[in-house]
């Protein structure tokens, strides 16, 4: 008696159903969108908080409308008044000078922080010798050091670079050192195993690992550079927004005073936001997992 015939069974795995076209999500676009939102969210929050504090400050202290200008008054001065174009030109010229001074101080301070931070990480003895001196100098008010700085470097680019660099240097140094020290020992040993020097470790592993800390230092330093520029303009150069504010106060031009303050504050917030946007795009490219935290 013959055995009954059996039908062969297929062992090929069944295909999973394709997801609907409407549910597909581009991961790169989602990560970049997250980075952009993370960057611009502080801008929106800062604008709302600043307006609330502005109105609340004027109302709480009952400041005279002649001295304390509301956001509506500043808006009219810059946008809707008949001479608003001339008013904006009055603001734009010193703002450009202040931005140049801030850029000089920012570059000087960040470069010094990167160089000194790398030296500190490479030599702990050097850090133990010089870090206390750096912290001691940080505790001295910049206003107290200004006469000596002006006497040595004059009232030109030298004083701008030194005074702006001092404001930027110390906070950036702490972040840079902390970031460069966060290199995993296994990564350092791997570079050494392939014959890499300490400089190769710094270039190939240290700086990429320290990028979040470096960006944090840049975010802190951008408003600090503007502050340093205002100080140097008040006390040394006699131009830019720092000097213009003093001139406007002396001439009782309070609309101009408040417009100048709003301009430099808004510029600081926008620059901070742009740095955050750049950081988000870099992390989206090289470390997207950090954006999901």
> What radius of gyration, in Å, describes the C-alpha atoms of the chain?
28
For 141, 156, 202, 265, the CA distances from 86, given in Å and listed in that order, are 37, 29, 51, 20
Q: Name the burial class of residue 180, with classes exposed (0-12), middle (13-18) and buried (19+) by CB atoms within 10 angstroms of its CB.
A: buried
Under 8 Å between Cβ of 218 and 110: yes
Ordered by start, the domain boundaries in the chain are 90-274
Kindly give the confidence (pLDDT) of every residue in the chain, 293 residues in length, as a single tens digit, with 9 standing for 90 and above.
444 555 444 444 444 455 444 445 556 566 667 767 776 777 888 889 999 999 999 999 999 999 999 999 999 999 999 999 999 999 999 999 999 999 999 999 999 999 999 899 888 889 888 888 888 888 888 888 888 898 999 888 899 999 999 999 988 998 999 988 888 888 888 888 888 887 788 888 888 888 888 898 999 899 999 999 999 999 888 899 999 999 999 999 999 999 999 999 999 999 988 998 888 887 776 655 555 55
* Tally of CA atoms within 13 A in the half-sphere of 160 that contains its CB: 23
- pTM equals 0.81
The residue written with tokens 């394709």 in the block is 18
Distance between CA atoms of 111 and 105, rounded to whole angstroms? 10
- Under CATH, which number does the domain 90-274 receive? 1.10.3720.10
* Residues 29-50: b if buried by 16+ CB within 10 A, e if exposed: eebbebbeebbeeebeebeeee
| Total residues found in the chain within this entry | 293
Under 8 Å between Cβ of 213 and 172: no
For 39, 46, 189, 191, 219, the CA distances from 286, given in Å and listed in that order, are 17, 28, 22, 20, 19
Under 8 Å between Cβ of 46 and 269: yes
């Amino acid at each position: 008696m013959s055995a009954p015939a059996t039908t062969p069974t297929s062992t090929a795995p069944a295909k999973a159903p394709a997801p609907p076209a409407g549910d597909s999500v581009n991961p790169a676009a989602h990560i970049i969108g997250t980075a952009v939102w993370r960057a611009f969210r502080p801008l929106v929050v800062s604008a709302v908080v600043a307006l609330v504090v502005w109105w609340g400050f004027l109302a709480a202290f009952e400041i005279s409308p002649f001295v304390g200008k509301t956001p509506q008054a500043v808006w009219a001065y810059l946008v809707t008044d008949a001479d608003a174009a001339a008013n904006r030109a009055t603001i734009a010229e010193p703002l450009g000078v202040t931005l140049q001074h801030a850029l000089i101080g920012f570059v000087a301070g960040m470069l010094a922080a990167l160089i000194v931070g790398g030296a500190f990480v490479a030599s702990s003895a050097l850090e133990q010798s010089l870090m206390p001196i750096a912290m001691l100098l940080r505790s001295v008010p910049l206003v107290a050091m200004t006469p000596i700085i002006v006497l040595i470097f004059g009232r030109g680019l030298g004083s701008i670079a030194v005074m702006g660099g001092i404001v930027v240097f110390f906070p950036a140094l702490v972040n840079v050192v902390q970031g460069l020290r966060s290199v995993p020992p296994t990564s350092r040993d791997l570079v050494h195993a392939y014959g890499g020097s300490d400089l190769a470790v710094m270039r190939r592993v240290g700086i990429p690992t320290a990028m979040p800390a470096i960006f944090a230092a840049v975010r802190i330093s951008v408003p600090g550079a503007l502050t340093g520029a205002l100080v140097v303009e008040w006390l040394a150069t006699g131009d830019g927004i720092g000097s213009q504010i003093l001139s406007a106060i002396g001439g009782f031009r309070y609309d101009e005073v408040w417009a100048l303050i709003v301009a430099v504050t808004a510029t600081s917030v926008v620059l901070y936001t742009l740095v955050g946007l750049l950081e988000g795009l870099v992390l989206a490219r090289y470390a997207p997992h950090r954006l999901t935290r």
